Amino acid sequence: MTFDQVKSPPASLARAIAQRTRGQTHGPITRLMSPSDFGQILKPFVFLDLFDHEGAPFDGPLHPHSGIATLTYIAEGTVSFIDPENFRGRLSAGGVEWMQAGRGMWHGGGLDKAGRTRGFQLWIALPPKFELGPTTSIYQAREDVPQDGPARVLLGSYGSATSAIVSPSPINYLSVRLKADERWRYEPPTGHTVLWAAIASGKVSVPDELRQGELAAFEPSGEAVEFEARTDTEFVLGSAVPHKHDLVLGSHSVHTTRATLRDAQAHLAAMRTRLVQEGRL
């Protein structure tokens, strides 16, 4: 059975949209999720930015993170990056950057070519076991991101495809492309009662219609969701076991307690002093 031949579930089992948003747009970035709104009901997913930049290249400054992981997915264009070891590289369309900050790290990036660049950056809250742990940076080219049918697995597993990135908690994060009139059904793994989708282009029904630039948070349950593309469509989807901890926020940081936040902030301050001495800040 191919992905566009699945049968619809009974209406009583259809998983409804609990909330939806178009976020807040500032320049080329639309923040679709933050801890003060959807991040509270969708944690461990706490921030989601949709970026769409067209114009001159630029360099982004080094900046700190702690207590979280970020996954940046490039849908179109090319971005540059500077990792914590001062290695500079480039990610093209279809590529993924995974950064697990742990106790603290500094990194940066930007655009080194004029033109259009768009994609998503997702922030994930780390559980206590990892929030003060070591840092990890992984960069995957398009050909290294596994795929099953229309779904590319950015994190976790779907069908026969499993990401090489080791997730800090049970999470799936997929990029899905459908042609007009194609249908695709997502069956979340056991325990993945958190589920959302954000539309990068086109429009899709679930059965309520979602359009480009919208994020939908589905009601907590274990039921599947069926997507039917009204036009050629691209969207990202996240599902997870709920994060049972508080979100304690600092600048560029998310922790589970104030004590772990203070520890990480002291560590980041010491790193900043070293970077200044090295002339990198």
Q: Closest Cα partner for 176 from 140, 157, 149? A: 149
| Residue scoring higher pLDDT (40 or 117) | 40
Query: How is the chain classified by DSSP, letter by letter?
Result: --GGGPPPPPGGGPPPEEEEE--EEETTEEEEE-TTTHHHHHTTEEEEEEEEEEES-EEEEEEEEBSEEEEEEEEESEEEEE-TT--EEEEETT-EEEEE-TT-EEEEEEE-SSEEEEEEEEEEEPPHHHHTS--EEEEE-GGGS-EETTEEEEESEETTEE-SS--SSSEEEEEEEE-TT-EEEE-PPTT--EEEEEEEESEEESSSEEETT-EEEEPSSS--EEEEESSSEEEEEEEE----S--EEETTEEESSHHHHHHHHHHHHHHHHHHHHTT--
As beta bridge partners, residue 253 has 66, 250
As beta bridge partners, residue 59 has 110
Q: What's the pTM?
A: 0.90
pLDDT tens, residue by residue, 233-281: 999 999 999 999 999 999 889 999 999 999 999 999 998 898 888 787 7
Q: Which amino acid is at 199?
A: I
Q: What is the mean pLDDT of residues 119-130?
A: 96
Q: Distance between CA atoms of 60 and 109, rounded to whole angstroms?
A: 5
pLDDT tens, residue by residue, 62-120: 889 999 999 999 998 888 776 666 667 778 889 999 999 999 998 777 776 777 888 99
pLDDT of 27 reads: 85
pLDDT of 80 reads: 74
Per the CATH hierarchy, to which homologous superfamily does domain 14-19+27-277 belong?
A: Jelly Rolls (2.60.120.10)
pLDDT of 5 reads: 38
pLDDT of 69 reads: 96
Q: Where are the domains of the chain?
A: 14-19+27-277
